[in-house]
Chain A
Amino acid sequence: MSTDDTMLDELLGAYALDAVEADEAVAVEEYLERAPHAAHEVARLRKAAAWIGATEALTPPPELHDTVLEAARLRRPTTWGRSGPDDPFLAAYLSETGRFDALLDTVGDDVLDVATFNGLTVRELVIHLAAMESAVASTIGRPTAPDATEADIERRTAELVERFRDRPLRDARALWRGSVDAVREWAVDEPPADDVPLFGLTFSRDSLLVTRAFETWTHADDIRRALGRREEPPPAEGLARMADLSIETMPAALEVVGRAHPGKTARIVLTGDGGGDWMIPFGFAEVGETPDVVLTTDVIAWCRCVSERLAPEALPREVEGDAALADDLAAASSAFATL
């Protein structure tokens, strides 16, 4: 340990009490990044300091409660209406967009040019999500980027990448956030619609919200992977909605990729929190009484396969019955993946 480090160690108590100058705080914080023992000590000392603070607990004036809530609402809208347990679709959307926002708080300017899974840089991926979300806002009649003209996903992304090229990321992030807010307001205000057109497909309100949640999670994990961080799957409730949607669309997916087998039936068992158990027909047909194949796999792995982050042949699985049919299921799962 160098003399400098010893001096920094001596500062830890003062630092935990906020009793250092600004330049010393910066030095200590840099030190904490590379010295786990010091970070551990600061955590202990901060906890002690907080408890010293707790010896002074005093009930605030009652009106402070309302003042705080009003100020909070002004900064970031709260969820209303069908949100919460009785609106799992909006809850999934808000949860994933919220997690993405929180992730961006931890992404520094120095990593914006790191390449992610689909070839876009971190910056371009954020812009891509702004392009997607603003397209959704537009199709539901609440445009946030009225001057963006391209309707195709990739061209729209390119158009916005060009527009935000020399601007700080916060500008693109603001468009994304504003679009998320527009979608949220629409989901709360409007009666559920069954025909929201987007990029050549038609969505119900609920499936649109879940699709957006799904893509937002996928790109959040793209960023985490690109930055060498741990992937973070959604909470079980949100994951369950995404798994549901991916299974509901399987018959259509099998038709789209030319792997439909009329008369055949599959049972899909997704294990883990947020999983489930479904019987589906192999295309646009009636579902049979007994399955021709039973595919059992982990719900998170399945969702990664659906979003093309895991190759169908790499999907870990247990199969009973016709293994070729299981291959068809895995291959068709990502039929509606975008980027």
Chain B
Amino acid sequence: MTEHVGRQAGRDVRPSQWERTTRDRLIAGEEGALNEIYDQFSSFVYGLALRVIGDARAAEDVSQDVFVTVWERPGGFDPDRGSLRTWLGTLAHRRAVDHVRREEARRRRAIKDAARPVSTPDVEEMALALVTAERVRSALDTLPDEQRRAIHLAYFGGKTYRQVAEVLGIPEGTAKSRLRLGLRRIADVLETETVARSE
């Protein structure tokens, strides 16, 4: 898959000053900036990679790869086009999915839902993030069953829409529209109330 993760046009929330400053500091080679991003987003990146890949070792490799990319190519993040979270999520998910597709033969191991402590470098941001994640979780619960299953198979299962169609025994066009409609519902939820602030 090609690496066009910078394309996030139409950002509807103004980038935070923190995001701009952090990007400038990364470009200037300031290690403290990388530390801050790591503290704030490592749970997000690692948790996502682990959920997709199902292997702790590989999830660590993907996380490392994501943060080293942030360090090496901070210019790839354009605050006017999308939030830092979206950029990191896109990087992490792409790499995780690539890993899964490369190692298709490998059987996924079940991950026990361990206790989930979260480090809190920016308490307010993290608190808002937790609240938002909780809202997204309940929004996922209220999605029509067939949309939720399709999204889970694609996003966490690393399957293409064709594979999703095959697994669910539905036409490809139906799989495509379930993914799109389901995601739109989540996007709608994110755009209501104060959630956008925690972008």
Contact = CB atoms under 8 A, between A and B. Distances in A.
A57 B118 contact: yes
Nearest to B156: A56
Nearest to B23: A102
Nearest to B30: A79
Given A55-B136, A77-B29, A45 B85 contact: no
A59 B119 contact: yes
A311 interface: no
Contacts of B38: 65, 68-69
A39 interface: yes
A46 B8 contact: yes
Interface in B143-199: 151, 154-156, 158-162, 164, 173, 175-184, 186-187, 190-191, 199
A43 interface: yes
Contacts of A42: 7-9
B139 to A, nearest CB: 9
Interface residues of B, number: 89
Q: Say whether chain A's binding surface is mostly helix, strand, loop, or mixed.
A: helix
A53 B2 contact: no
Contact of B179 (A17, A79, A105): A17
A55 B2 contact: no
Contacts of A84: 30
A186 to B, nearest CB: 15
12 contacts: A19-B164, A20-B160, A22-B1, A49-B183, A50-B88, A53-B93, A54-B136, A60-B46, A61-B60, A64-B63, A98-B74, A184-B29
Interface of B: 1-2, 4, 7-12, 24, 27-31, 34-35, 38, 42-44, 46-48, 50-51, 56, 59-60, 63-64, 67-68, 71-76, 81-83, 85-86, 88-90, 92-94, 97, 114, 116-119, 129, 132-134, 136-137, 140, 151, 154-156, 158-162, 164, 173, 175-184, 186-187, 190-191, 199
In order of increasing CB-CB distance, the 8 nearest A-B pairs are A102-B75, A13-B180, A50-B89, A40-B10, A98-B27, A58-B47, A39-B9, A60-B46
Given A71-B64, A83-B29, 16 more contacts: A13-B179, A13-B183, A14-B161, A17-B183, A18-B158, A36-B10, A39-B7, A44-B12, A45-B183, A46-B8, A48-B190, A54-B133, A65-B38, A83-B30, A95-B24, A102-B73
